[in-house]
Amino acid sequence: MEVQSQGIFESLHKRLQFYVFKNIASQIESGDDYRKLQPVYQIALFNDEEQEHHELIREYASLDKKYHDDKGSLYHVYYIFLKEIDRIIEEKGKDNLDDLEELSYLIEKGSKCNRINLTKVGRIMKNKYDKFMEDMNLREEAWVYEKAEFDKKAHYYDGEAKGKG
């Protein structure tokens, strides 16, 4: 699971695919029985809205064209565009959200959201979120990491603008 606050979706998509395939490849060694491979599920939360298609969730998996399903796929990637929940709430109303929309609402609104009867997964996620918010060192570490990533991108774009890219 990964959370992205900003970035160019196409480059993030390639990086996240790399992680999925790396996780698949690391499961076995050359000569092992390939039936031991287990699927990898990746969830990437974007603190943004889907600009082109206006969707909450975008799913990627390999499909069997003959049967039109993903049975046997080793990778399942779910991109969740959190800002889209506001549009969905406007369309459907808060009382008509499905489970995934409810969970997206919880993640997007954080501690401001107290109206949901959480599932087990929702309770675990809310507990982790609350612990994160209470742990100043963890928040500081996340902030330092995000700032370093922002600085790296700014340096790259600055260099590209000056013809150094």
Could you report the per-residue pLDDT of 48-78, keeping only the tens digit for each?
A: 666 666 778 777 777 666 655 667 788 888 8
* Cα separation values, 106 from 4, 18, 46, 103, Å: 16, 29, 14, 5
The pLDDT of 23-50, averaged and rounded, is 84
pLDDT at 73: 82
Would you place residue 89 in the very low, low, confident or very high pLDDT band (cuts 50, 70, 90)?
A: confident
Whether the pLDDT of residue 33 is over 80: the answer is yes
pLDDT at 41: 84
pLDDT at 158: 56
